[in-house]
Amino acid sequence: MAHINLLKLCVGADSVEDLTDWQESQRHRWPMGCAVHVTRMWPKREAEVLAGGSLYWVIKGVILARQRIVGLEKVEGSDGILRCALVLDAEVVRTEAAPRRPFQGWRYLDPEESPRDLPKGREREEALPPSLAQALAEIGLR
């Protein structure tokens, strides 16, 4: 079975380091050292998500990182509403910069449209400015 990825805004983060720092500060709350992100909607394409999908993080309008999705769990909020906990691998993988417009919730992201992982050794490179990344994407370079 082919996999599908999810795309989510990383609200409140200005960089990948902000995301990793926040996740590190929350590590004591996670099962088995995995990161967890709770969202309202359960993916209808659950089997495809769990067949190797990742959560791609949009930071300041640009996809910059991803985390492999290792599970989905039902959690009940303090308001009694059931939600979906995306259980993520603890490793945050930096990706090539890919601009994205704002949206609410999460979206499916086809593997063919997903930015590639940065090669080892390039993980610490600064992201391109969003306007430059957009211009490069428009001419087929990313």
Domain that holds residue 9: 5-138
> Closest by alpha carbon to 9, among 71, 68, 49, 62?
62
What's the number of domains the chain is made of? 1
pTM for this structure?
0.84
pLDDT digits (tens, 9 = 90+) for 15-70: 999 999 999 888 887 767 788 899 999 999 999 999 999 999 999 999 999 999 99
